[in-house]
A and B are shown apart, each in its own frame.
Chain A
Amino acid sequence: MADDGSNGETGVPVAIRTVTWIVLGVALMGILGLFAIRCELGPEAARAYPSRTLAAEPEPVLLPPPPIDEDYFPCMDCHAGEVPNRTRRELEDDHDDLELAHGDLWCHDCHTAGDYDRLHRADDTAVGFDESWRLCTQCHGKKLADWRAGVHGKRTGYWWGAKEYRSCVECHDPHSPAWKPIEAKRPPKRPAEIRLGSDVRLEEVPHEAE
């Protein structure tokens, strides 16, 4: 670079260099100082909120199970006076619309023969239909703890307050408890479909990956 016109060195007089450093320093401090005046709002600084608490948490509320179809309940209306047939079989005359797919269980494992208006546990303890969950927890004990804690099953209401939880039969058909697929709600619009005017729904969206 020194082939013409330059002296090969930075011939900047000391006076100018000193002034430069002073100007630089003052400018930096001035600007930072300016920002320091009004920069208390960091990403976590909040308003000075007043203290707030909610009242003490009441016990969670177990919602009553849904009512049983009037055609079927009370059971003894049809079953009164009959001699129960305890043979394991597939039912052909009545209750054949029920799909039974619950492990190795069949009717009399839960329903009390001769007294169909109540259920029973494995040790023959009587359980009403309003507390049918007591049957499920015989085998599904781990679920019981989760369900009580609120981690299994749907919870509505208040996270601090009247938490509502549900009896097993509200979501699980006790005769075939495996979850059945339900209708899916429609997918979101792709970005290319969001347009000025109104959103369009393109049959074939160009340039989109699947």
Chain B
Amino acid sequence: MKRNDAEDRLDARGASRRKFLRGAAAGTAALAGAPGAAQAFDFETFFQKHFREMSDEEIDDLNARLARKYEKKYGKPFSLDATGPLDGVVFGYGLDISRCIGCRRCVYACVEENNQSRDPEIHWIRVLEFEREQAFRSINLEEGNPYYDHETVPAEGKLYLPISCQHCEDSPCTNVCPTGATWKEPDGIVVIDYDWCIGCRYCIAACPYGARHFNWGQPSIPKDEVNTDLHLLGNRPRPKGVVEKCSFCIQRVRKGRYPACVEACPVGARKFGNLLDPNSEIRYLLKNKRTFVLKAELGTRPKFFYFYG
């Protein structure tokens, strides 16, 4: 349904004007303490401790409380845990850019698996399209286009580069977070405690890969599409005003499963495994294929390796 953009703009302005007035009223009422005028202030979350400082019982209580909250909101039972890392495991990721066709099935598989907000829209994976001729000389990121819209892919003469969190060994984001709400777990996954993040967005400024995303508005997930298998540091529905990003599907990989994007890719361009296991496919490709990482000169040491299969 094609609308003319003047209508869209007017509509958007009208919508935002109505929202402004409603929001100003609600916000003022909330500030003035009028009960029921705005969302009830969540005292339990307010006094919650940082994840890394909670005891196991506190985490179990938190998981149970959140599961109840989601059940009430979405009308289906949720399972929420905080599975710890496996011994002797550091995760690595491989992406075969000779095979990626830019179909974006990984993007939307991730959205569904990880309960990303549909409106306002958040995508953890972004696929950049380059002119193959140019990209062979050097990948100039300004030439990359994430908004390509073709009937079928791959389009003639194009190269596709999907980008998501690189889970750097030396990540700039974990360094700059003022509250320590984001950190690197022993199995190499960079995680976020969504109840500790204050939403200052310093990590978004610090990330060289544009991999972190902010919940600018109240996130919304359709009830029939919400994923009920949750991990506290991964795909649990996030509140407004906090940062989120790819978590290597922590709810899957810590139980031995592949991330959703690996399973969704129709051409098998995505590879995942344990970097410490010499027999894993990720070690095989690091040994036998030509690999590179993005922005290597920055010294972030990503664990996301692009290769030519």
Residues of A within 8 A of B (CB): 41-47, 49-54, 146, 149-161, 171, 179, 181-190, 194-204, 210
Contact = CB atoms under 8 A, between A and B. Distances in A.
Interface in B260-292: 262-263, 265-268, 271-274, 280-281, 284-285, 288-289
For the residues of A in contact with B, the DSSP-based class is loop
A52 B121 CA distance: 36
Q: Which 7 A-B pairs have the closest CB atoms?
A: A197-B15, A43-B174, A150-B281, A181-B152, A154-B268, A49-B84, A185-B104
Interface in B84-111: 84-88, 94, 96, 101-105, 107-108
Contact of B171 (A43, A156, A194): A43
A171 B175 CA distance: 43
6 contacts: A41-B183, A49-B84, A149-B285, A150-B273, A154-B268, A171-B266
Interface in B61-84: 83-84
A185 B9 CA distance: 25
B284 A156 contact: no
Contacts of A183: 103, 151-153
Contacts of B51: 47
Given A151-B271, A182-B152, A204-B5, A49 B85 contact: yes
A161 B85 CA distance: 16
B87 to A, nearest CB: 5
Given A152-B309, A182-B266, A185-B103, A200 B180 contact: no
Interface string B2-16: 111100110110011
B19 interface: yes
B15 A195 contact: yes
B271 A203 contact: no
Contact of A196 (B19, B262, B265): B19
B216 A157 contact: no
Interface of B: 2-5, 8-9, 11-12, 15-16, 18-19, 50-53, 83-88, 94, 96, 101-105, 107-108, 119-121, 123, 126, 145-155, 171, 174-175, 177, 180, 183-186, 216-217, 253-258, 262-263, 265-268, 271-274, 280-281, 284-285, 288-289, 309
B258 A43 contact: no
B121 A199 contact: yes
B201 to A, nearest CB: 14
A155 B284 CA distance: 15
B19 A197 contact: yes
B259 to A, nearest CB: 9
B129 to A, nearest CB: 10
Given A150-B271, A159-B258, A54 B86 contact: yes
Contacts of B284: 146, 149-151
B15 A196 contact: yes
Contacts of A194: 120-121, 216
Contact of B15 (A146, A159, A187, A198): A198
Contacts of A198: 15, 119
B235 to A, nearest CB: 18
A200 B280 contact: no
Contacts of B105: 185
B257 A45 contact: no
A188 B16 contact: no
A171 B267 contact: yes
B276 to A, nearest CB: 12
A200 B123 contact: no
A74 B258 CA distance: 37
A54 B84 CA distance: 12
Nearest to B254: A52
Interface hub of A50, A155, A159, A187 (most chain B Cβ within 10 A): A159
Nearest to B269: A154
Contacts of B108: 185
B147 A50 contact: no
Given A156-B263, A182-B103, A199 B120 contact: yes
Nearest to A166: B268
Given A183-B153, A185-B108, 18 more contacts: A41-B52, A44-B174, A46-B184, A52-B86, A150-B273, A151-B94, A151-B271, A155-B263, A157-B257, A159-B258, A161-B256, A179-B267, A181-B155, A183-B152, A184-B151, A188-B107, A194-B120, A194-B121
Given A171-B268, A194-B121, A47 B52 contact: yes
Contacts of A199: 119-121
